[in-house]
Amino acid sequence: MKNKILIVEDQEINRMMLSQIISTKYEVVEASNGKEAMEILSQQSSQIALILLDLVMPVMTGYEFLEHMKKNPDYDAIPVIITTNSASSEDELWTLSSGATEFITKPYQPEILLHRIESILKLQEATAMVRLLKNDHLTGLLNRDYFLDCAQKIKDRYPEKRFDLFCSNIEKFRLVNEKYGVEVGDHFLNEVASVIREELEVENLPLARFYADYFIGIIEQKADCTEERFIKLSEKINQCFSIPNISIKWGLVIDDGSHMSIEQMCDNAIAAVHSIKGQYETRVSIYDTELKEKLLQEQEIIDELDEALDKHYYEVYLQPKVKNGVLNWTDAEALVRCNHPKRGLIMPNEFIPVLEKTRLITKLDWYVWEETCKILRQFEDNGYGKLSISINVSRVDLYEENFVNKMSELVQKYHIHPSQLHLEITESAVVENLEWVCVIGKSLREKGFQLEVDDFGSGYSSLKMITQLAVDVLKLDRMLIENESKKPGSLQFIIGLAHWLDMKVVAEGVETKEQYEHMFAIGCDYVQGYYAAKPMHWKDFEKNLQKQKSL
């Protein structure tokens, strides 16, 4: 609460006089000169409700004192009453234009001064109530709207200076609330805010809890806004808290003198943060021309999705699986490519992450699944028999309402037996919510679908997972296969365990003859990879079916 009145070098106003005319809720603080007053102000600005300032003082004049106050936005809201012997209109005009609230010449009547002080203090109390609405209730930092206003005013006030902007985000903070409770989550946010305030609140520049677990602030460019600085800050935050697997991501926007608005800088900083979500090793992203171009391309993918699906820019490719050492074209995995009319062939690593981040991946998934069912129907109608094709299921799909029933309706629509579709769920999606995946998996298998765990061994595997989750196929991650040459024997144990649990095993990403032969030698049921066959357009796949049929 602001409960102090600062008197700076006014011999006619003394503590006794003020105690008679001012409410007891205000404490009087005196300074003999401007320099001493500035020290008091720097230490107690949050408590100063009003300043009574003489213009003529030793060490630092009242004019100089006002100039110093003007440079610090934290002092903007503190009213200043000038008390002086000068009746000069020039002095009055200058001080009022420099931020003073009132200009009173000596001698003055105590009653008049009292009324003026009371009026200003009442206005300050009302302003304080408004300011409460401008601060985040949890951390005490500025809220979004007030930060934008305050930061923009600073940027406009000092056009000769450059201010960089940073944004931090706690990746997967939602899981902290779910696992430890909202109270622990709030405490964690408060502590993160404290660390950021301590390390980055330079020269009283504004800092905000922008929303949720996003913090944003500005730093004068000379203050060393570097990637290394924010990496060290991430490490400090991680050391302070016992919550495991917390990752702080940073987005930086460097002021290049282009007069970008603070709001646009915030948008760009948040975009920079989002660009590295899910990248465990990357903590800092700087918004630059390259990232801007990448984000524009990503937005183009999002904006064009409906048109691309309607016009079939997205096409199904099939990669065959080798069974028992024989490439027999009866088992394959459905992959997707985008054949863009302007950009040419776009690979999945360009559009899949974009659609996953925006949860639009479900649109693409349902499109691919339906196209795959059409292909299976056509293959069977053309006399190639009942093929089995694996399709990828995103973690977002698993939480879709009536997912199991909708999958059943899809295969019924094309008269496809559910066992012809092998639903691939990534190992990371399984680990994220094993209980739910077990429930969904059980329902899917009861409907006749085959269930596969993709990327098995990519870092989350456990005996609990493969024993609790009833699946038909394990797909070994390519890293397991690459590491097998360094430490032979581990894969054979996994394959043996899978067979004991009545599961088939697929080795994917097999790219050499040695890997190919070794995988079959240790008991793999299927091998998939560039060594056997690359992914091909489904029409080219059908040509190979024709060749096989004619043999």
**Domain layout of the chain by residue ranges:** 4-132, 144-287, 304-550
- Better-predicted residue by pLDDT, 278 or 15: 278
pLDDT at 323 over 60: yes
pLDDT at 380 over 80: yes
Question: Which of 82-96, 237-251, 346-360 bottoms out in mean pLDDT, i.e. has the lowest?
Answer: 82-96
Nearest CA among 278, 195, 193, 285 for reference residue 233: 195
Amino acid 457: pLDDT: 75
pLDDT at 132 over 60: no
Q: What are phi and psi of 523, to 5 degrees?
A: 105, 10
Tell me, what amino acid is at 102? E
- Better-predicted residue by pLDDT, 41 or 6: 41
Q: Do the beta carbons of residue 83 and residue 95 sit within 8 Å?
A: no
Q: Do the beta carbons of residue 283 and residue 230 sit within 8 Å?
A: yes
Query: Tens digits of per-residue pLDDT, 18-42?
Result: 555 555 567 777 887 778 888 888 8
- Better-predicted residue by pLDDT, 290 or 1: 290
pLDDT at 305 over 90: yes
Strand, helix or coil at 54?
strand
In angstroms, how far is CA 197 from the centroid of its own chain?
A: 19
For the segment(s) 4-132, the CATH number from 3.20.20.110, 3.40.50.10860, 3.20.20.190, 3.40.50.2300 is 3.40.50.2300
Percent of the chain clearing pLDDT 70 (strictly above): 89
Task: Compute how many other C-beta atoms are within 10 angstroms of the C-beta atom of residue 235.
Answer: 12
CA angle 417, 418, 421 (to 5 degrees): 110
pLDDT at 5 over 80: no
Tell me, what amino acid is at 395? R
Record the tokens describing residue 138, joined without a space: 């949890």
pTM for the whole thing?
A: 0.66
Q: Can you list the pairs that 85-90 forms with residues at least 24 positions away whose Cβ atoms lie under 8 Å?
A: 85/56, 86/55, 86/56
Amino acid 251: pLDDT: 93
Q: How far apart are CA 143 and CA 212, in angstroms?
A: 11
Q: Which of 76-85, 220-229, 356-365 has the highest mean pLDDT?
A: 356-365
- Better-predicted residue by pLDDT, 51 or 265: 265
Q: Do the beta carbons of residue 82 and residue 102 sit within 8 Å?
A: yes
Residues in contact with 401: Cβ distance below 8 Å, sequence separation at least 6, in sequence order: none
Strand, helix or coil at 119?
helix
Amino acid 12: pLDDT: 55
Question: Which of 104-118, 147-161, 527-541 bottoms out in mean pLDDT, i.e. has the lowest?
Answer: 104-118
Dihedral (Cα; 514, 518, 521, 526), 10-degree rounding: -100
pLDDT at 14 over 60: no
Residues in contact with 304: Cβ distance below 8 Å, sequence separation at least 6, in sequence order: 313
Q: How confident is the model at residue 138 (pLDDT cuts 50, 70, 90)?
A: confident
If phi over 0 gives left and psi between -120 and 50 gives alpha, with beta otherwise, what is residue 457? Answer: left
Helix 289-303 to helix 348-357 angle (10° resolution) is 80
Q: What are phi and psi of 450, to 5 degrees?
A: -95, 140
SS3 content of the chain, % helix, strand, coil (to 5): 50, 20, 30
Q: Do the beta carbons of residue 48 and residue 4 sit within 8 Å?
A: yes
Give mean pLDDT, residues 381-391: 94
Fold (topology level) of 144-287: Alpha-Beta Plaits (3.30.70)
Q: What are phi and psi of 260, to 5 degrees?
A: -70, 140
Question: Which of 215-219, 327-331, 430-434, 528-532 bottoms out in mean pLDDT, i.e. has the lowest?
Answer: 430-434
Q: How far apart are CA 251 and CA 441, in angstroms?
A: 38
Q: How far apart are CA 267 and CA 275, in angstroms?
A: 12
Task: Compute how many other C-beta atoms are within 10 angstroms of the C-beta atom of residue 425.
Answer: 24
Amino acid 409: pLDDT: 96
Tell me, what amino acid is at 447? K
Amino acid 301: pLDDT: 92
The residue with tokens 């691939």 is 424
Q: How far apart are CA 477 and CA 340, in angstroms?
A: 30
Task: Compute how many other C-beta atoms are within 10 angstroms of the C-beta atom of residue 14.
Answer: 12
Instruction: Write the CA distances from 410 to 309, 373, 404, 451, integer angstroms.
Output: 18, 8, 10, 17
Counted residue by residue, the chain has a size of 551
Q: How far apart are CA 148 and CA 459, in angstroms?
A: 42
- Mean predicted lDDT score pLDDT of the chain: 84
Strand partners, 169: 214, 249
Question: Superfamily assignment of 304-550 in CATH?
Answer: EAL domain (3.20.20.450)
Dihedral (Cα; 276, 279, 283, 285), 10-degree rounding: -30
Query: Tens digits of per-residue pLDDT, 165-188?
Result: 999 998 878 778 877 888 888 888
Q: Kind of pairing, strands 314-320 and 331-340?
A: antiparallel
- Better-predicted residue by pLDDT, 510 or 131: 510
Helix 182-200 to helix 173-180 angle (10° resolution) is 140
Q: How far apart are CA 173 and CA 246, in angstroms?
A: 8
Q: How far apart are CA 280 and CA 247, in angstroms?
A: 8
